[in-house]
Amino acid sequence: MRTISCLTACFLIIAAGPAMARAEVIPIGQTDDFNEVGTLENWGGGATRTNIASGGPDGSRYLRISPGGQGKVGAYNLSQWAGDYVTAGITGVAMDVKNDGPQTVELRLLFLRGFDEYAAINPLVLPAGSGWQHYVFGLSAGDLTRVAGTNSLSYVLGNVARLLLHHDPNPPDSTGGASPVVNATVGIDNITAVPEPATWLLLAIAGLCLLGHARRPSGPAR
């Protein structure tokens, strides 16, 4: 996993205030890039998961997900992607994805908390041999729909217990539904927590200010 920059950390402290004391807050820019040898970045599940040494979007390592014993394709995270997406202003989960299998795969992101589940309304459809594609799953009410439970979207996104990415054709279904099998081999890389564009702009401006301050020559000693 890439290290969160000092600039991002400083911004979060200023923006979130006391909420930053909560360890479960998902930080802006958090990224799983799978660049450590053999790491799965805490992504589990019944599918076969392999860290591939090369061939990612930039030629580096990536995570390959292929059908497990039941022929299902997907993976979940109970670690760094479990927590609060609301406090830091996370508005999307971006990733690079490809399909090397012979069948079309429809990937959907789900956010789970207890009996509550919210799924992406629109799946990412990857035809066979798609090549790498960059995609962002949005987190607004127009992007996610409740497929199980009774609690609100804001409650679940503020208390996510599990993040799940799996093959789930239309219409979106809960994890208690019939998960279809598919002959697809999915590559995934650069899973990133992204904020609204205005937040990125503030981070960029702050970065330029810090850079200018660091390069300012010091005056003569007095």
Q: pLDDT tens track of the chain, all 222 residues?
A: 554 544 444 444 444 444 333 438 999 999 999 999 999 999 999 999 999 999 999 999 999 999 988 899 999 999 999 999 999 999 999 999 999 999 999 999 999 999 999 999 999 999 999 999 999 999 999 999 999 999 999 999 999 999 999 999 989 999 988 778 999 999 999 999 999 664 444 444 444 444 454 555 555 544
Give the pLDDT score at 178.
Answer: 76
Quick check: is 65 in a domain? yes
Provide DSSP, 27-87: PTT-EE---STT--TTEESSSEEEEESS-STTSS-EEEEE--TTS--EEEESSTTSBBSTT
State the maximum Cα–Cα separation within the chain, in Å, rounded to a whole number: 76
In a domain? residue 1: no
Block residue for tokens 């053999």: 38
Residue 194 lies in a domain: yes
Q: Does residue 220 belong to any structural domain of this protein?
A: no
Report if residue 221 sits inside a domain: no
Q: Is residue 104 part of a domain?
A: yes
The pTM (predicted TM-score) of the whole model is 0.80
Our count of domains for the chain comes to: 1
Instruction: Return the CATH number at 150.
Output: 2.60.120.430
Domain assignment of residue 190, yes or no? yes
Answer positive or negative: Cα dihedral of 216, 28, 15, 5.
Answer: negative
Q: Are 164 and 44 in contact (CB under 8 A)?
A: no
Structural domain including 194 reads: 6-173+180-214
Whole-number pLDDT of residue 29: 96
Inside any domain, residue 156: yes
Residue 15: the pLDDT is: 43
Q: Which of 168, 174, 144, 173 lies closest to 157, judged by CA?
A: 144
Q: CA quadruple 49, 191, 131, 144: dihedral positive or negative?
A: positive
Residue pair 123/107 in contact (Cβ under 8 Å)? The answer is yes
The Cα 214–Cα 222 span in angstroms is 21
